[in-house]
Amino acid sequence: MSMFEHLNRPQIRRDRLRDLSARILPGLGAFLLIIAALYLAFLFGQFHGAMQRVW
């Protein structure tokens, strides 16, 4: 019974959620940054190719 009481305390759950978010968010931010960089590089490559075709 004490195990379930321990699990049902909201403070524990909130702390666990905060630990989880602290662990996940930096990785997620880095992942999104990499995706954005690749997308910008792709757009720049397309633009560069189009400019070479124009000139």
- Residues 9-54 have pLDDT tens digits of 667 677 888 888 888 888 999 999 999 999 999 999 988 888 787 7
The domain tally of the chain equals 1
E strand or H helix at 30: helix 10-54
| pLDDT of res. 35 | 97
| pLDDT of res. 47 | 84
- End-to-end alpha carbon distance in the chain: 77
| pLDDT of res. 6 | 56
| pLDDT of res. 30 | 93
Domain span at residue 8?
2-54
CA distance 6 to 39: 46
The first and second tokens of residue 17, run together, are 């959620």
| pLDDT of res. 41 | 94
Answer whether residue 7 shows pLDDT above 60.
no
Q: Are 12 and 6 in contact (CB under 8 A)?
A: yes
